[in-house]
Homo-oligomer: A and B are copies of this chain.
Amino acid sequence: MPQAYDVAAIGNAIVDVIAPATDDFLALEGLAKGAMGLIDEGRAEALYAAMGAGIEASGGSAANTVAGVASFGGKAAYMGKVAEDLLGEVFIHDIRAGGVTFETAPLQEGAATARCLINVTPDGQRTMSTFLGASVFLTPADVDASIIKAAQAIYMEGYLFDAPGARAAFVKAAGIARDAGRLIAITLSDAFVVERHRAGLLAFIEAEVDLVFANEVETMALFETADFAAAATALGQLTKTAAITRGEHGSVIMSDGQYEAIATKPVPAVIDTTGAGDQYAAGFLFGLARGRPLAECARLGHIAASEVIGHYGPRPQTSLKDLAFAA
C-alpha cells in the first residue's frame, strides 16, 4: 500500500537572498566559488551590505527538494526550524503554499530565521554564505515519528551535520525510518561539509543509508581522491544506490555494482544554478517513490534541475508535473 507521503525531508530551514555578482567580488570577499560557507550574523550583515540588489526566496536544500516533489504532484512533508519573524513567515507560507506538510514549531526566542546570501556569477554558478540562525535549533523533539513512518522515503541534508542538535534529529529520524522499513536517502550537500564530517558521514552512510545524492566534487571529497571513477565505485560499494550529478554532463547512477550514465539536454541559458542539485533529488525521489526505474528517476531529476537553473531562485516556477508528463 502506498504511504501518505512520497518523501519526508529534514533540513536547515533557510531564506535565500540571491544577487548577481562578479568573480572579482567573490575574490574581494574571500568567497570560495561554488561552495557553501558558514558565517555569523555580523558577517551576514556586512556581506549583505556589499552585495548587489537581489531577490528573496525561500530556500534550504531539503526544503527545495520537497517543494520540487510537490511540484511533480507528489505528497511531501518537511521538518526544519525557523524563528517567529518575517522571514520565518515567508518560509512557512511558501512551503505550505506548495502543498507540503510543515508543522515544526518555530523557535520562540533567540536567533533569527536562517539566511543564505547567494552570489551568482555570470556563468550561473552560485556561491553561498549561510547564517544558520534558528535552523540549528532543530532537535530530536522536532522529529515527528508518525510522518517518518508515513513516508515512502526520508531525505536529509549533509548540512545538518554542522549542528549537533540537528545531527541528533537526523540520527533519530533514520532510526525511525529503518525500523519502519522506509528508504533512507541523504545528500552530501557540499564538499566542505564532507571535509568537516568525512568520518561521521562515511559511518552513517554505511550503517543507515540506502540512497546517496552527491555531485562529482563531493563524491571525490568523501574518498579523498581526484579520481572520479574510483570515488563513484567506492560510493557504490558503501550504499545501495548513489546518484551523482555532473552538471551539463548529466548524472551517474551506481546501483548494485553497476554504473549507468544518464545524459541531460543542454539548457539554453543558465541563469542561476541555485537549487540544481536539490531539484535533481526531487525528480529522482519522486520517481523512486512512484516505482519508476532508476534511469527514469534520473531523467525526472534532470527535468527539474533544468527548470530551476533557467531563473533566479532555488525552487520551480513552473509545474514540474506539466514539464515531465504533459504530452
Contact = CB atoms under 8 A, between A and B. Distances in A.
Given A313-B312, A317-B20, A55 B53 contact: no
A27 interface: no
A53 B93 contact: yes
A326 interface: no
Given A86-B85, A87-B86, A312-B311, A97 B58 contact: no
B86 A53 contact: no
Contacts of A56: 55-57, 90
Contacts of A93: 48-49, 51, 53
A300 interface: no
A76 interface: no
A276 interface: no
Interface string A89-101: 0100111011000
Contacts of A136: none
Contact of A55 (B49, B52, B271, B313): B313
A54 interface: yes
A318 B121 CA distance: 11
A315 interface: yes
Interface string A214-242: 00000000000000000000000000000
A49 B67 CA distance: 17
A53 B97 contact: yes
A102 to B, nearest CB: 12
A166 interface: no
A52 B95 CA distance: 9
Interface residues of A, number: 29
B85 A51 contact: no
B97 A52 contact: yes
A19 interface: yes
Nearest to A268: B268
A58 B55 CA distance: 7
A82 to B, nearest CB: 14
A54 B94 contact: yes
Interface string A307-324: 000011101011000000
Interface in A54-110: 54-58, 67, 85-87, 90, 93-95, 97-98
Contacts of A55: 55-57, 312-313
Interface in A7-39: 19-20
Contacts of A315: 53
A95 B54 CA distance: 10
Interface string A249-271: 00000000000000000000001
Contacts of A318: 20
Nearest to A96: B53
Contacts of A94: 53-54
A286 B13 CA distance: 42
13 contacts: A20-B317, A53-B58, A53-B67, A53-B95, A54-B94, A54-B97, A55-B56, A55-B313, A56-B90, A86-B87, A271-B317, A311-B311, A312-B312
